[in-house]
Structure 1
Amino acid sequence: MADSINTTRTYEPTAPRRVAFIGLGVMGLPMAGHLARAGHAVTVYNRSAAKAAAWVAEFAGASAPTPAEAAREADVVFTCVGNDDDLRSVLLGETGAFAGMKPGAILVDHTTASAEVAREMQAAAKARGLHFVDAPVSGGQAGAVNGQLTVMCGGDAAPFEAMKPVALAFSRAVTLVGEPGAGQLAKMVNQICIAGLVQGLAEAVAFGDRAGLDMKQVLDVIGKGAAQSWQMDNRGKTMVDDQFNFGFAVDWMRKDLGLVLDEARRNGAKLPVTALVDQFYADVQGLGGGRWDTSSLIKRLR
């Protein structure tokens, strides 16, 4: 785990807080690491106790056997788990985080989940005298490792302002975009944008290959103009090289696009390109690429 965070990251001075972090996956592990490096007293929980023990060995925090124990006495509790059901499982019930949190504490959820579950958890927190902020992130594993995530938040202003300086340990921007659930809706907008961009980039690279161009050179050229994007800068040349063993997995993207399409059915938004790209990702899964990076869309075109 020695490379789990960027150790050259500098942190803005802020008052040390007692925090908990629940969920030490590829995103949560480095995020919790940055909180510890920033001077906060961190207690972690993970379903795999071995991973929690390894985190403690590296960052000198503490671990707990249940989410409730991890959350006890914490000012801010962060969660980053897989989906709506995972979130409910770590927050609700006798061993859930809500059961252990002190009155007035703040639960900040970084899971990419539905707006519906965010509103549900906000209501559950409020009924217990707690606060809830839905706060999905963008920036991928590299952003988590480097402490440069973008966090889009939904919730009330007071708990948002209280959690923001703490969350800046692993972020470059933490922004309140609206009421409970709005953070998750903003993340859906983010994923809609990415789906279209990656498909366009995949088609461009495949076209250039067929035309006999040196696509790495072409990407360098057009990357200085109007076609430039994060996806082009970070995934264009790896597409050319047929490298997809890193970054945000197709399985995760399909989960996210499922949330997007479910929400669109509720609100009436028309998403023809997003729906099509979702099916293209299903094709990639059929090729055995569920764990490939999302830029693997180009595999369909070769």
Structure 2
Amino acid sequence: MKMNLRQADLLIRKELQGIYPPEEIRSLSLLVLTHCAGIPPVDIHSNPDQPVSESALAQINKIIDGLKIYKPVQYMMGTTQFYGLQLKVNEDVLIPRPETEELVHWILSDYSGTSFLRILDIGTGSGNIALALAKNLVSADVWATDNSAPALHLAKENARENGLMVHFVFSDILHAGSYSLPGQFDVIVSNPPYIPESEKNSLPRNVADFEPQQALFVPDDDPLIFYRKIISFAQIKLKQGGAVYVETHENFACEVADLFRKEGFLTAEIRKDINEKNRMVKASL
């Protein structure tokens, strides 16, 4: 069946009606059409009679089927945007969030114009944080670790495709082997797992059913496990005067900040995200 852009837009909206909120459906339709038809968003509104190829329509229908079972559209398209970068994503890595862009922006604001920084991203996933920092702090020596070989493989692909240099290392912050990374760092950043397992059923299905569990959840009886390990690591591997930046669960930001202070960090500052939730902590030695 032949369709133009207007008809394809109506198809997407009709098929997703009642599954997603109307505003989200509009956003999804625009995203799917621009990706599948290979055209800029403005063309969808300025040239709605432009025909959609059979191959593009087949891809649109496949994505609609996935969206009906709440599969993230980013996984189906295979790409997402993060801080001006086009990144590959798949089910081995979390989908980068706008809140994490705010964490990157905080670091860039603090270190803009600074030369010869050594930066470490712990639990890099798709490489989004490390690559955004490497792009915007061109003289920085950026390192990134993950305990998932498939995630590191994807992060390296993203580095190559964006022409950026990051040292990727297989390492698990929960085990002592992470201490073998060479030298000390001016900045350590991490968006670790922080959602208690008991909250899984309250998460949107596109997150709970499809994103990697090991990158999301922590035990209910030890929700700060990753922060304690990051702090122990930083006490050895962070330079004097350096800083640790972490993303946190909104309910644990104060506890994370207190943990840094109790372990000898001079300051621990909490910042809210775009939704006015306590989401980020910066701790300095």
TM-score when scaled to structure 1?
Answer: 0.37
TM-score when scaled to structure 2?
Answer: 0.39
Higher helix fraction: Structure 1 or Structure 2?
A: 1
Higher strand fraction: Structure 1 or Structure 2?
A: 2
